Each structure stands twice: as structure tokens, then as C-alpha cells.
Structure 1
Amino acid sequence: MIKKTAAYMLATNPDIVLYPPIVSDENTDYYVLTDLDSFKSDFWQIKTVENLIELEDSIKSNPGKYLGLYDEYIYIKKDEIITGKLSENKDSIASIPSIENLLPPNFPLITPETKDFSSNPFYNDGKYNGYPLLLSICLLVSNRRDTLCKCLESLRPFLEELDCEIIAVDSSNDGSTNIAIQYGAKIIPFTWIDDFAAARNAALHEAKGAWILSIDDDEWFDNPSEIIDFFKSDQWKQCDTAFYKVRNYTKDNGTTFGDCYVQRMAKNHPQLHYLYPVHEAFDFSFLKDKPYSKTFNSFVHHYGYAYSTTEDKERKIYRNISGIYAALQSYPFDLRQHQQLCNELTIIRNYSAATVYAFKSLSLCKLQEKYNPIEALHWKRIAIIFLYTIAQLSNDNKLIIKVQDLTDLNEYNSFQLATIHYYLAVNSFNNSSYKEVCYYAQKYYTFRKQYLNSADKSSQSLSIFTDLVEPADKQVLLIIYHAYASLQVRDEKTVEKLLAQINYDIIEPNVFPILFNIYSGLSEEVFMSHFPKLNQKMLKYLYHYAKDLYLNARQGDGINSLSKLDRKLVSAGCFVDNLYVRLIHLYANPSRPDSYQWFLKEKCQRHLHIQDIAICGVKNGDILLDILDYFNFEDIQLSLRSLDLLDAIELSNIIEVSTKYITNNGLSNLTKKELVLLSGILEKLLFNNQVNAINKDSQDFRKYFYIYINLIHLWSLCNYNENMFLEDNFSMLPSTIRGSYYIMKALNAKDSGERQTFIDNLKQAVIECPIFDNGVKLLISELKTLPTKEVSKQKTEFEILGEQLKETAKQLIDEGNLHEAQNILLQLSKLLPNDKEIQDLLLNFEASYLQN
């Protein structure tokens, strides 16, 4: 049985806007309850209710009494828009945020513009349709001396070949005025009021040209010859307005940019003027028909969007939003301003608000019975922005809308249709609607081909999102989505065709996980045919993004699916950094005792250099010896290099399992290969300054340093005969072996209570191996724990005096007079050479010096 739904609003204020539902729903009726006579609507049924304010609570608690019998009643608040079929999804409602709340706290709002406009001067005795000049170039001058010269120099061809003038509306204070005067510009002083339209209108009031061309001081023409030829011919007489391109750079080096067409040229008229504080535009409402326009490929360079910081970017966007707020106070139903607001919100990635305002704009399209034909272009842009923001919001189902609800109102050209179907495919992918992905992707390819084969591309493109049709990187992204979707609908032939089109050098890393899933699902034959195309960068990132899967897929379907791809890669002879560390995580696990044997067999058969396997074997102690059997000592040293790629957390994890392995097996029971591997791991932890895996002043550092020294010493005893430790051969040993030799001697002296021998050997250890200095400092801190022997005997007067001087030295030490205290102790040591306490104090001075 079909359920009927009633949506209702309470209108007690005449300023409430009755936004039409965007999607038609035959199972929902829409009501407005009001006690005012001012409301009319083609979409809502108006019901008059006397004393509405007093009855508001009663209506909400029992709407059926006023609306009749329905299965469900849904209350629509002020500034809410119905975005879908309420009979199917009662959450298909979006609340419109106030523009003030989209701005940072205390951000200044631009004052709404006045609609009053005084006419421009009228000329009828000149040779250019009554005007004395052919062209007036209206230039806004701010504090941009760095680009003003480029701008004016690019205008020189106009001055040389046409009857024209430059009118500079000047709000600068950096001397820019003098530069403009050198090019013959007429200067119009202007106090800046955060209103671009007002500034441009100031120039129009002074213009004597039959045509107007507007430009800013941070823009300059690349080659204006096409525009100049337009004025040299009679074409300017047949047109009302014209567009040229602005090339907006997003980086100072000029490597990235986007082109958009701007309506900056128009035939002069007493009623011609600009509207809107920002994103200003000509008002052609004085014309009876749609203005006839011309589009030029001539363009200006513009670096105003090459922001140095994110803060600069946001500050400019928020300024624009503030200006749009002012415009909407005067023109609340203006689609152009709504389109610009949506665009600004997407730039700062407030996709949720952008989507809601796109909904509002789409609703306004239905609300207005008639609108200027130019509005149709803004509507199309809004529709595409809407699809773009939906794509960024992924799978927010209550915001999804069918394409038919967007395309029925206006006809689109091939460029616009390609753009629309691009986003429809992305939206379908985000919602796992894989059949629709395949359908929309095919449509995109068709419309893209039509656009690329068209004779006149400039008239088709929009001023936004013009990078979706021509660039290869955008097309390859959709191809990857399409390939994945085709795999889900079991169309491997299409997958194979799509993969053949991929240029792996331009793929962004964020789609590598999708490729990972595609290749995991391919048959062995298809995979092997495409494997040669995979580049090292892609493979490296593929496994970087799949890292968590490898670490967590220890059982069940997860490990089986990963195994399928891994075996293919190994069979193909693939090698990338950190690949094998992932593989051994996968294969060397207790639940699959034969898997690592298969992997190692593959290694031996193909003579691959295996990096990281030994490290991972440490995590699986039961198999470490089996793994090491496949290695020689050179292989182990090679595997240790990969530790430089690990971050502090990963390295600490390896250290933890390594020391646990040592504890479980005992130092004396380790094989030579294990000694090399484990000492190498600890060496990376202790002495890699680029990765601070452990605090070098901590007891943990001392503990690991102690284990490391024992490992090195055991290795040296296994690997070198005793003659190598004699004086003539000792220098031939590695520095770490020499240093560990003296540290072991120091530790033996410590156990015997030989303080001086302890200190001397530690000094020599640092000389032999300077990287041991931090570990030696921690060992020296143990001086206080060494045993001392006291001898009781009768003290002489000389010794009593010595005791008094010792106390004086100690007091000086406590007061920080270390130099004076040391001098006293040095003199006492000569007088009382057998006094143990004096010698201890001097040794402490020496130890402190070594520590510092």
C-alpha cells in the first residue's frame, strides 16, 4: 500500500521564502499554514488559519486536524529545503546556514550596496556611435606596483593602434599613480569601500569610448591582437558585449593555472553599469533582448590566486563571501551570486554548506517563473557545482539527487554533459552503485569525445571546473573507477581494456588502494599481461597504503585475498622497498607453517635480493633460524639497511621483539648470524640520529646499550682469534669491536671495585668508538655505586687539618665554586697522596668533565 506524506510549514512572517521542493513527489502534499494574505505559490497549498501564532503548538501536536488524514506528517522549518522525496526518505531536508555563520567570528561584513544608479554621460557627436573615442580601458589601481608596469605595457598596443584612453580608478598609496600617468592615464581618485562594482562604475562615468574594457592592475595581456582586430573591423558594431580569458595561476612559478572566460567588455550606454561588491558583472537589464556576445581567446595573466599561505587564501575567500552576503541583501534571488557563493565555499572545502546553497539555488530556479537568459548559464554552473560537492561528501544519501531532476530544465552542450556525467560516475562510485558507474563513465567518454572533436570549444566550456574534460589525469581517475566497477559486475574484458589505457606515471597515490583491489581480483593471465606497466613508484605506494591490511590480515579471507596478489608479484620478479617486509608478515605466520617456505623457495629460485626478511623473522622467533639459513652475512647486512626507512614507532617495535628474542634464547646460545642481525638492529636504534626512537638519557637506552655491547663482544670472540686483540693488530678491528672491548674491561673493573681502571677503560672506549659517548656517560653515572674500603686509624694533626680543608672544598662545591674547590683538592692530594676520599672527589671531577 502506498503511503501518503504531508509536508507543512507555518508562515507567520511575510519574509519567509516558500522554497519549492527540488524533486517532484506524487506521494507527498505540501502545505503552508498562514494567517497572512501575501503568500502565493505554485508548489505549496496555502491554508489560512486565524491566530496562527497561538495555535502553533496545537498544529504541531495534531497536524491532521488541519491538514486531513495522512500516513506521516513532516514539519518544515523556516530556511529548510526539501531535497528529495519525503515519502521515500523523511530525512531529505537541508537547513540553510546563515552566511554570517560561515564567516570567522567578528569578520567584517560588507555594507549592502545601494540600487541607486546615476546615468553615464551621453555622447552623440563623436565618430564612434556618437562617442569621441572607440575604446575606454578602465583600470583599477591598488597597491600593486610590482605588476602595474606589466599591465600598462601590455595595453600599449591598444594605445598605438586604436582611438582609446586609459581611465585609472586609483585607491593606491604606494606611488602607483605616477606610473599610470606615464602611460597617459586619466586618474580618478577613489576611496576604497570594499566594492568592486562601485570602483568600476566610477570609471564608466568618465568613459568617452564607444566600448568599455575593464582590467585590474595585477593582470596583463599576453597578446591582445585578436581584440584589437575586432575593433579595427566593423564587428564591434554588431556586438553588445565580449569575453576574454583570465589565466588564474595557483603557484608563483606559473606551472599550474586555470582559464576562465570573463565578461569584461561591453558597448557603452548611459544605463550600463556594474552590480555586486565582489564578482562584479555588467547589468544589461536595459536591453530588450539577450545581449549578443563575442568570445576571444586572448587572455590576461593573473597571479592573484597564487596564495603564499593558506591564511591568505582563506582571508580572500571570506572577503568574497562577505561581499556576496552584501549583494544577496539587495538581490536575494540572484542566481549568479548564489553560484559564486557555492564556488567560494568549495574552494575552502566547506562542501556541506556549498551543497545546501546549491540546493537553495536549484530551488530558486523553480521559484522564478521567468529569469534573464544569462541566468541559465549560472543555473548550469550551480548544477555542476552541486554534483562536485556531492562527490566530495561521498555517500551522504540524503543529499543524492537523480540526474533527471537536474537536466530537464535546460539543455547542456557536450562539455557540460561530459562534466556532469564525470561527477555522476564519481558519486555512483562513492555509493557503491557499480552498474551506474559503468553507465555514466561510458556517457562521459562519449561526450568528452564530442567536445574534443568540436570546432568551437571556447563557447562550450564553463568558467569553473574546466579541467575535467581535457587533462589526462582526470580521465585516468575515472578509468580506474570504471575498471573497479566493471570488476564488481564481473566484466573482466572491460577491465582489461580499461587497464590498457592507464598511464601509471600520472596516477595520484590516493587511488593506489583501488588499483590494489583491482589487481587482487584479476585472473593470473590478465594480471601478468599488465604487470610490466606498473612503475616502482606505484608499487611502493601500493604497499604503503596496504600496510595495515598486511599487518592485520592474519587469518580468514583477508589473508587469502592478499596472498593472491602477493604470489603474482613475487612470481613476476617484483622488487620494491619494503615489499618483502609486508610479504613475510603475510606468509610467516603460525597458522600457515608452509607459506614462508614457499616464499623463500621463490626467492632462491629467482635469486632476488631480499630486503627486510630477516628483520621480520625476529617477530616470529620460531622461524628466524629457518629464514637465516637462506642468507649469507652479506644478505643480512643488506637487510639491515631497510631499518633506515622505518619511523620511530616501527623501529621501537622491532627493538622490543628483538630483545625479547634475546631474553628467551639467552645471549650465550645465539648463533653468529643471529648475533650479527640482532646487534645490527640495536645499533640502528642507539645510533641513528635521524630517528629518535628512544630517549638517549633514559635507562632504556642504558639497557639496550648494555645488551648491544655484549652482542658485539660475543660476535668478536666468535669471529676473531685472540691475536687480533694484541697491540700490533688491534687497530685493524672495526671501531665498534675496539670500543666494546674496552667497555667490557671497564665492566670487569667495576665488578672488582677498581674505580680508576673503570674510568680509564671507558675513556679509551670513547676514543676508539666516538658513537659510544652517550652510553659511556650513563655507565659513568654508576660511579657512586662502586664499593669503597674504609681504614680506621688514629688521625694526626696534619690529617685533621686535611679534613678541615676537605670540608672547605666540599662547601665550595655546594656553593658552585668548582674551580677553587678543585685547586684545594689538588694541593691536598700532594700533601696526602694516600687519602682515598680526596682521590674520590678528584675522580668525580674527572667523571663530570667526561660527561660534559
Structure 2
Amino acid sequence: MNGYFQGGFNTYKLISYKEQLFMSKMNNNTVWVSPTAKKTECTLTISLLVSNSIATIRKCLESLRPLLEQVDSELIVVDTVGKDNSDGSLEISREYADKIVRFEWCDDFAAARNAGLKLAQGKWFLFIDDDEWFDNVDEFITFFKNSDESKKYNTLFFNKHNYQNLEGTSYGEIKVPQCIRLTKDMFFKGRVHEQLTVSRLPFKHINAFVHHYGYVGKLSKEKVERNEKLLKESLRENPQNMHMWAQLLAGYGIKTAENRKKVKKEAQAALKQFEQIQEKDNGLQRDGFTVLAYLLRVLMAEKEWLAALETKEKYEELLKLSQYEHCILDNLAYILFINLKNEKEATKYVLDYIKNYCWLQKHEEEYLNQESFYFQNDVSEAKLFGLSASLLSRERENENWQKILNTATKLPWANNVKYINRILAIVLLAAYHESDLKIMQTICDQITTNDGKLPLIFGIAVRALKESTEVDEKEFTSFVARIKSKDSFILIQQALVAEGTSVFEQKLKKLQKARVSCTVPNEELFSLLIRNKLDPTLHTESLSYEEWLAAVNQIVTIYAKKRSQIPAFAEQIEQVWNLCSKRELLLMSLRHNYLFSPDITTSEIKNELGAYADNVVNFAQMIYLPELLAGKTSSMLPSEIRFGIFVQRAVNERKAGHEAQYLANLRKGLEYYEAADRLIKRLLREYDEKDQKQQQINDEMVRLGSQVKVQILEMLQQGENQQAESLILELAQLLPNDLEVRRLWALCHRGV
């Protein structure tokens, strides 16, 4: 078969299989070299282990294509299965590869990696597997095209997403140093979970990441079992290899009692070996610490607190911990001492965690150098602020305001806005009690964005404290208003403080000029405008429905605590704000909260029910087609809208004096809105009681009437017609439709 075909970015001549291979021998590994492969040094060598991953190999290679096309590079494929056993992955990789080295699989990942490494001609070496693919390689391209940048660093870290489900919704993210400047002394070691023998500073971390589904589903169990077998074989050969011990423990995990039992047994055996090692280099120290941390986790999971404490104290002395490892141990020790009811010791470890973590943040290269993928969740901003929140919450209970502020000064507030929600209110409260505006100003300066805005969480925290009993609302508002900021929330606080003074109008103009909206957490502005009889349209018209709904919910929440003020507040709104959908949505929500309150009286229901129904119908008429609201109303409408329509009809019938229709519409409305069951049944019960009372009166009149009728008959029989006539007339007024009264009248006047 002769001719040419386009293979990825290379062009190959199609001849017989033996003829097309440029064969060479290298350490008993057969190497195929593309005719267009680079013969001299290049910038980057990419080494790819290929097994049988037909589902992902194309994704992997296509993700590398931009790198291979835009950077002076080569692709070396390490074939670990052979042509005869390949599922097609090898043929696909031939379209892209510069070199393919045949590696006879011998359960040794390091040896397989080294087979590719020995062929590398790049200044840099990047290695991945065929079940991984990059999401985007632009940052790699930028890095290698910038000669100053690529000369400055020796190791490039990128991210790996290790997925736990096929949907890709659950994964752990780790930083991996899988791109490194190539040196002659570099090689891989370790039969499984192989690692390079060198780790060279300086480091750089980029945000590029690879997807990795290698441990999902059935593959996970198979790989874990394979890894356990290889690791145990290696440990029998070298029982003091702490790296293998650490990998073995990581493979077990501690979720089940069975696995915890395994980890405990193996970790204790590993630490005995660790004690016997005389010279412990940094790598061995790190792996020894990993073993210790796993053992502590197991003991704590089994609630063996004293055993965990004894183990910690024994082995901590043998280890020279890095700042990163201090953080891991600080977190474990905090949990340990909390469960031992020793809050003083627990506090000490939180403060130590803060110190070490902040040091790591200031030393990015050291952070990367010290980082452990085993315990990444234990060393993070989330963990830092979680531990701090736990500490500050206890100090809040004890009203140790100054201790709270001392801790707050040590925390890295900048760039950590998403983690501060649990502690910001506590620090605000402490600053208020200590009258320490300086610390609040410092924190606000750190969390303010470049355009001068504070995060929403700041306003939410302030609003929460105002609604609590822990502060005097006016004093606290005045305290917050003293913060120097152009943020709209602070401007509102300043306007609230100025309300009723000569400078209020000036503050208000500032808000109007900035077109500050009433969205959360600025909803206080709305009440401020209404109190001062000002139309809020300017500050609400730009809000989306979702933004206004959030503001409505917050306003309703505030007024739910002062329910009696809702009717008056609603009337004030109607006086200054023209009819619009936003107005009606707020009014129906406020009145709903009022009417559905458990302690409302029947007279209060009657007073506000009509206004509530009008708000519901007005709102519906502005957003729904008229035909949906007519007649029986459309089933497409929300249940409360349908309820409101029938309540409005009921109220109108009551005004017209049509009680039967009034009751019928109330019952119809209740069919669509079960939440109104208690409300409507109270009104229906009132009418039922009224009917029962009338029925009792009617029954009594019938009883009395019967007695009078007997008396009239006796009078007629005795010829006392004139006296009987006056009684018949009185009885006719009481029982106007009674036929027997009419017959008595006829008897009385028969002979007349």
C-alpha cells in the first residue's frame, strides 16, 4: 500500500508496515520515529503513556494539538500494550506522535515513564496519560512563547480534576508539577504513583487543568486493587520506603470501618519502620508525616481521642514540619482538643494555623513546594476561615471582643470574600463594642473592589446585626456610617443617620445622583424614602424581577417583626408610589404576611382582605393575559393569584349585600390555595355562627307562634274575633310567610 495520508500535524508516507517504521533499539524497547520527527533539541517534550483508553485518547491528543502546533515541541508516545493487544488507541496516537516507544509492561510505572524520558529532546518535559485531557492549553502556549518567563522558572504546576462520578459534577482538584525543565539527572522512581527524583525551584502555577476520569466506576476498584498489590510488593522489597506506605494508606481511605482497620494496622507498621531510619531527608520526612496524619485521622474517626493525643505527641517530636504540615496538624489537633474539652489548647492551634497559612500565602513557591495532595482540603482558605469562625464564635459567646479583634487583624481578608461570611458579623460586633472604627476601616479597605464597592456580604452582615438584640440599632448605624467608603450601602447608612437633620437632603441627593437602587442589602433605602414621603421609582425601576423580589422578601422579613405597622406602611406606599407591578408585588407580599399571621383577629382580616385581593389582582393584570384571569381562571396561574381573584369577587359581593355569593367565592378561592385554609375558615365560621344564631331565633319564633296560634283558635271558637284579629296581625309580622297565620286570618273574617 503506497501513498501519503495526513496524520495530525505530521505527514506520513504509507508503505508496508515494516518499511514505514524507522526501527531502533533502546534498552530493549522498540522505537518508531516519524520521518518528520525533530532531530535536534526543541522547547518542549510531551510524553504520553498509552494503554487501552479508546474512549479518551482522541480527546487527549486533540487537547495537545494547539501546544504541538504553536510551540516548538515533540510528542513521545509510550505504548504499554503493543500493537496486537491495542484497542485502536495506538493507531490513533500514531497520527499525532513524533516517536512511539514500545514498552513491555512489567507493573512499573516509573520504568514506563523513564522510557519516554530517555528519548526526550526538549528543554522542558510534560507528562500525562491517555485517560486525561486538557481543557485549555493557552497558558502553556503563552508561557513557552515568552522566553523571559520560561527561563525564569524550572517547574510548572497545573491543576488536575480527579472526578468521582461520570457526570463530572464531583471532583477533587490538586496541583501537579508535571511540567519541569529537563536535566540529565532526572528520572522517575516508584512502581506505582511514580514521582520525579527532582523538584526544582523556582515554581510557577498556571490555571490550566486536565480532566481525569481514571478512578471512576469499575475502573476505580480495579486500579485500587492493582495499586495495593504493587505497593505491597514494593514494601516487601523496601519496608522503609515511606512514599509507598503513604500511597498505600491513601488508596484505602478511612470511610469504612474495614478500611480504617487496615489504615491503622499499616500506619502503625510504617511508623515503626520510620523510627528505625537514621537519616531522614525532606522527602522521607514528608511521607512520614503523611503516615502519621492518616493514623491520627483514623484514631479520631474511631473517637480514640487519648490514643490520638499520645500518638501526636510521640511522633511530632521526630518530624521537622513545614508550614504546610503544621497547618494539617493544627487542624487535626484543633478537632482533637475540642473533643477533649480543652478549648484553651484548641484555640492555640487555630492561631498557629492562621500564622502558618498566612506565611504560605506570602510565599507562593514554598506553598507549591510543600503542598500535599493527600490533605489539600485541610489547608485552604475555606478551612482557615472555618476554623477562625469556630474560634470567634466561642469568643463571641464569652464576649471576648478584644480577642476577636486581635484574631481578625491576623486574617487575610483581601481576595477571600467568599469565605468571610461566617466571621464578618462577629468582627463587626466586636469592633462596635470596642468602639474600634480603625480595624473596621482596615477590613473594609481590604475587601473593597477596585471600583470602590464593598461585597454584598458586608451589608447583609450589618443588616443582620441591626435586626438582632445585640446592638442598639441607631448607635450601630451611626458606627457603620463613619466608615470612609463610596459604597452605596455606606451612603445609605449616612443618610439614615442624617434623617431629620439639615444635611439629610444633601445625603439624599448623593444617593439620587449615584442612582443607588433598593436591591439587597440596600432595601433600607426604600423604607427611608417612604417615611419621608418620597417616590421610590428612581431607585427601583432599574431592578430586574429577581432583584426586586429579593428586596421584597427582605422588606417583608423586617416588617414581620413589627406586624402591626404593616397596614400603615402599606398605605404610605400607596400614597407616594403610583400603581406599577413592583408596587403591587410588594404590597401583596406585605399584606399576605399580615393576614396569614397566626395572631391576627377576624376584624383585622376584614379590614385588610380587600386591599390584599386588589394588590394580587392588580399585579396579575399587569403580567398575565386578561383571558387567564376571567371566569373560573386558568389553571396555568399560580395558586395565590387564583385565590386573590376569587377573594376580590367575594369582597365585592359582600359590599353588594350578597352574602351567599360572598361565601361561595371564599370557598372557591380556598379550593385553589390550601395555605389560606385557616384564614378563610375563620370568616366562614363567623357566618356559620351567625346563621346558627338566626336559626335559633327562628326556631324560638316558631315555638312561640305555635302557642299563639292555639290561643287564637280558642278565641275564635269563643267568638272573640276582634281580640283574635290583633293577635293575628302581630303574628303575621313575626311569621310573614306562615300559611297557618293566613288561614287563621280567613277564619277570623269568614262571616264578616
TM-score of the pair, normalised by structure 2: 0.49
Higher helix share: 2
Considering Cα pairs closer than 8 Å and 6+ residues apart, tell me whether 1 or 2 has the greater RCO. Answer: 1
Q: TM-score, normalised by structure 1?
A: 0.44
